[in-house]
Chains A and B, each alone.
Chain A
Amino acid sequence: MTKITFTFQGHAITAKTGQSLAAALTKAGHRNFRETAKSAERGMFCGMGVCQDCLVTVDGKPNVRACMSPAKDGMTVTRQVPFPAFTGSAPPPSDPLHLTPDVLVIGGGAGGLSAAIAAAKAGARVVILDERKVAGGQYYKQSADGSVLDAQQGDGADLVAAAVASGAEILSGVEIWGAFDPLLFLAQQGETPIIARPNMAIVATGAYERPVMVPGWTLPGVMTTGAAQTLWRSYGTLPGQRVAICGSGPLNLQVALELTRGGAEIVRLADRASHPATRPLAALAMAVSGPMLTLKGLKMELALRRMGVAVRSACDLTGVAKQDGALAATFQGAGGDEETVTVDALCMNAGFEPQNEILRLLGAKMHYDTKMGHLRCQTDPTMQTSVSGLYAVGDCKGLGGAPAARVEGTIAGAHAAAASGFGDAYDLHGAQRALTRHRRFQSRLWRLYDIAPRGVAALSGDTPICRCEELTLDDIQVGLDDRPGHAGTLKRATRVGMGRCQGRYCGPVVARMVAETTGKPIEDLSFFAPRVPIKPVAISAILAAQEALDGEA
């Protein structure tokens, strides 16, 4: 593999081709990427382009996401300042890409790839748009250099290959920022504007991770478990040597194992839930509905134990602080005992939030899942949403796991193709039965973990809630005194949710806070109103899209 070099704050950094800037910087021990308006330090958090906290300046271009940008030879990278000078340099306009496929698939993970394969096999013209440089999604997370780490990555590579073989066109590194009625999508691939007007659209945008909000969770070095997994699986970089993991759920366990095998020391693996052994009936129910996956879970735990890593059950993170270039993470056990460990990186995952922005923007009906604490998109048995021609599969419609996403994708792909006049979507009974099985397993699996949405009662007032606007619980609570009738009112009163990530992390918390004060049940309308752009989009890109649309006429 070829090596490249670039500079960060004047230091020479060596990286592998294809490595993200965030990975290359982490490997070199740089975690502090930017300074906020209130002079706080920030670094990579979500690792997947959602939190907008990993911003750096690249060759004079401000606010570039380090997690989504490959390191290139000769780059000059500097820490992002909060108020950069306008550079104004609009890149030379590139020719727009006009897409009019029978079926457009948004998201190239387990659900999206399966949908594309089914639709393409039926004869439909299919295009997949994916945000990442390499398709595969979060579960099948592919390596940047094409190497294969294990069976899971191998399965993913097979799925991507099958999608390519099916004739579906995969466009990677595409940021979709606009979704409009009737099925008009605006996106950007590098400097190229994309205008997509498909016949049918299948949304398969997956989920992002729910954090553990404690004082200090915004510090550089604190990241989601998925971000650490991407560092390792995609870029062969450990998040740090000494690592702690907290939250709840099987991903934490899996990443602990992967990082340990990679050479990291897991100094603490904490789960909020009490151990499954203390709830044998629930554990048994899960085992019955998914023996293979249950076995996989048991094997992981055993393997970890053999390497000296034991899960601390009923143990939760209570705070993080900077300490001599490292992080001091404090945990509290079931008995109330507190213990502080010193780590290079702290990983957190306390469940998932669906990436349902496109679905909500287009008006697809949702309902609130009280157990999971997030919205679920309503679909009919063909996976079509309440919006005609708009399908949804996988975690973006509510958490369901990769196996369910694959089956849902197959069903949606076949039906979307049939609705476009390709094939008849016949004989999907087997798939429907498999889906029922996967869903049953999922619901039983999650009963063993503790990902219930949390109120703010247990949080201290200085806990940051809105990362972007740097607001603590106390700051937001001031706005509650006016008894806001809606999250939008609280937003205007306090600025909560007004930043670059558009309320991805604070939004669910705020929706619950407002619901609590008003006594109204949580529903779709309780959340911040969905608005374009779905992700921040450069004015130059909007200009390019406008010129492309003008050219259409």
Chain B
Amino acid sequence: MAKPDILVIGGGVTGTITAITLAEAGAKVTLVDAGVNAGSDANAGSLHVQMQSRFMRLYPDQVPNVEAALPFYRAAAEEWVKLDAALGGVELVRKGGLMLAETADQLAFLEKKAAREAAKGLSVELLDRVSLDRIAPWLGPQIVGAELCRDEGKLNPLLANRLLKRRAEAAGVTRLTDRVTQLRMTSHDVEIDTPDATLHADQVVIAAAWGSGDLVNAFSVTLPTRAEPLHMNITEPGAPVINHLVQHAERSITLKQFSSGQIVIGGGWPATSQGSHAPPTVRHDSMLQNVALAARLAPAISSLKVIRTWAGMNTTIDGASVIGPLPYTKRIIMAIPGDAGYTLGPLVGRMAAQIAMDAPTDFDAGPFSPARFAN
């Protein structure tokens, strides 16, 4: 294989966008992907913008990072709107996201949250039950109100992945299925080991999600990428009535309806990891509790049948994305979205490509520099 200018590690949404951006700008790009446990293959296609209560509860120490990044989330959602047009439609619907409250306390929490988010430029509004009934009449009687974030939406990730893959192919990206085991700097380029071959490239972009931490240890950077196995459920199709992305002020849930009429229920319930070479397996308690919660919030869906569950690998870091060159090794550039990675992936991937090309970035990459993890 001829030596590429740039080698991208990881073929999820982030790495694919990086590869497309670089190749369309004229670079010779090779993409290496291990072909297993891509969050992009398992994700539910929610465009997250408002602060997720699940995240705030699980990782309170990371909330400041997330809050600071709110304009970034909004820009990422805008990036998807552009992609939707560029790719010829990924069933993107942007009617907003509802975060439900069942108690006065929860509503008060949402009110404070909404004020913080509005200060960061998000389009949010608090709805009482009467206004909710107009847009979401299928909610359970115990729901007292909700926060509506108009920046949020949903799309079909299976379709998006397929179109992205085609676009990369058309742009001339060479795709290899292999697992990178080690990176080394030579005097003039980067040497890349896989079990099958040793490759060389002038620059490397690491968009390997949970696999990224191991690859940069050798460069005096401790990147705490954590693989988080998560559970999803999907139903048979029903009449299209749920327009919004639905979440809860206190409990882990996302619920939405695809354009296929199917309802997807998830929101961060755990699955059982089988390591990095096989997909995680489904836990009965996650399935039961996740679906039961959905049934309580939206009793209207309880006549529908769940036809499948699956589990996939999410990646968390510290609440903020990691974008930019390694502190001591400029030839290696990181592109890891962190939480809500499918939402952030395209923007993160594009910015990493811009950095590799020494071009100005769409958004200030400063706060996302890997330098914060230098030993």
Q: What residues of chain A have their CB less than 8 Å away from a CB belonging to chain B?
A: 37, 61-63, 82-90, 178, 180, 184, 186, 482, 485, 489, 492-493, 495, 498-500, 502, 529, 531-533, 536-540, 542-543, 545-547, 549
> Do A543 and B291 touch (CB < 8 A)?
yes
> Do A500 and B307 touch (CB < 8 A)?
yes
A79 vs B138: C-alpha distance in the bound complex, in angstroms?
25
State how many angstroms separate the Cβ of B303 from the closest Cβ of chain A.
5
B287 adjacent to chain A (CB < 8 Å): yes
A453 vs B367: C-alpha distance in the bound complex, in angstroms?
58
A333 vs B201: C-alpha distance in the bound complex, in angstroms?
60
Q: A88-B303, A500-B307 are in contact. Are A540 and B295 (CB under 8 A)?
A: yes
The 9 A-B pairs with the shortest beta carbon distances in the complex, nearest first, are A88-B300, A536-B305, A546-B292, A546-B288, A540-B302, A86-B300, A90-B302, A180-B284, A542-B291
Total number of A-B contacts with CB less than 8 angstroms? 121
B165 adjacent to chain A (CB < 8 Å): yes
B87 adjacent to chain A (CB < 8 Å): no
> Do B301 and A539 touch (CB < 8 A)?
yes
> Do B299 and A88 touch (CB < 8 A)?
yes
Q: Chain B residues near A88 (CB, 8 Å)?
A: 138, 299-303
- In this complex, which of B41, B284, B302, B306 has the most chain A Cβ atoms within 10 angstroms of its Cβ? B302
> Do A63 and B310 touch (CB < 8 A)?
no
State how many angstroms separate the Cβ of B234 from the closest Cβ of chain A.
8
A540 vs B235: C-alpha distance in the bound complex, in angstroms?
12
> Do A500 and B161 touch (CB < 8 A)?
no
**What 1/0 flags go to B267-303 for Cβ under 8 Å of A?**
0000000000001001111011101101110011111
Q: Which of B237, B240, B308 contacts A531 (CB 8 A)?
A: B308
Q: Which of A90, A180, A533 contacts B299 (CB 8 A)?
A: A90
Q: Chain A residues near B300 (CB, 8 Å)?
A: 86-88
> Do B309 and A531 touch (CB < 8 A)?
yes
A451 vs B35: C-alpha distance in the bound complex, in angstroms?
34
Q: Which of B235, B284, B295 contacts A532 (CB 8 A)?
A: B284
Q: A37-B237, A83-B239, A532-B284 are in contact. Are A89 and B309 (CB under 8 A)?
A: no
Chain B interface residue count, CB cutoff 8 Å, equals: 42
> Do A547 and B292 touch (CB < 8 A)?
yes
B304 adjacent to chain A (CB < 8 Å): yes
A499 vs B237: C-alpha distance in the bound complex, in angstroms?
10
Q: Chain B residues near A489 (CB, 8 Å)?
A: 35
Q: Chain A residues near B310 (CB, 8 Å)?
A: 529, 531
A20 vs B260: C-alpha distance in the bound complex, in angstroms?
31
Supply 13 A–B pairs (Cβ within 8 Å), ascending by A: A62-B303, A84-B239, A88-B300, A180-B284, A184-B284, A500-B236, A500-B305, A500-B307, A532-B309, A538-B303, A538-B306, A539-B235, A540-B295
A514 vs B159: C-alpha distance in the bound complex, in angstroms?
20
A532 vs B35: C-alpha distance in the bound complex, in angstroms?
23
Q: Which of B35, B158, B236, B239 contacts A85 (CB 8 A)?
A: B239
Q: Which A residue sits closest to B241, measured CB to CB?
A: A86
> Do B238 and A86 touch (CB < 8 A)?
yes
A88 vs B161: C-alpha distance in the bound complex, in angstroms?
33
Q: Chain A residues near B162 (CB, 8 Å)?
A: 493
B177 adjacent to chain A (CB < 8 Å): yes
Q: Chain B residues near A85 (CB, 8 Å)?
A: 238-239, 241
A493 vs B163: C-alpha distance in the bound complex, in angstroms?
10
State how many angstroms separate the Cβ of A489 from the closest Cβ of chain B.
8
B71 adjacent to chain A (CB < 8 Å): no
Q: Chain B residues near A543 (CB, 8 Å)?
A: 291-292, 295-296, 302
> Do B177 and A485 touch (CB < 8 A)?
yes
Q: Chain B residues near A502 (CB, 8 Å)?
A: 307-308
Q: Which of A37, A63, A493, A545 contacts B305 (CB 8 A)?
A: A63
Q: Chain B residues near A87 (CB, 8 Å)?
A: 300, 303
A489 vs B36: C-alpha distance in the bound complex, in angstroms?
10
**What 1/0 flags go to B319-355 for Cβ under 8 Å of A?**
0000000000000000000000000000000000000
A84 vs B41: C-alpha distance in the bound complex, in angstroms?
29
State how many angstroms separate the Cβ of B175 from the closest Cβ of chain A.
9
Q: Chain A residues near B282 (CB, 8 Å)?
A: 531-532
Q: Chain A residues near B285 (CB, 8 Å)?
A: 549
B89 adjacent to chain A (CB < 8 Å): no
**What 1/0 flags go to B195-224 for Cβ under 8 Å of A?**
000000000000000000000000000000
Q: Chain A residues near B301 (CB, 8 Å)?
A: 86, 88, 539
State how many angstroms separate the Cβ of B264 from the closest Cβ of chain A.
12
> Do B288 and A533 touch (CB < 8 A)?
no
A83 vs B283: C-alpha distance in the bound complex, in angstroms?
30
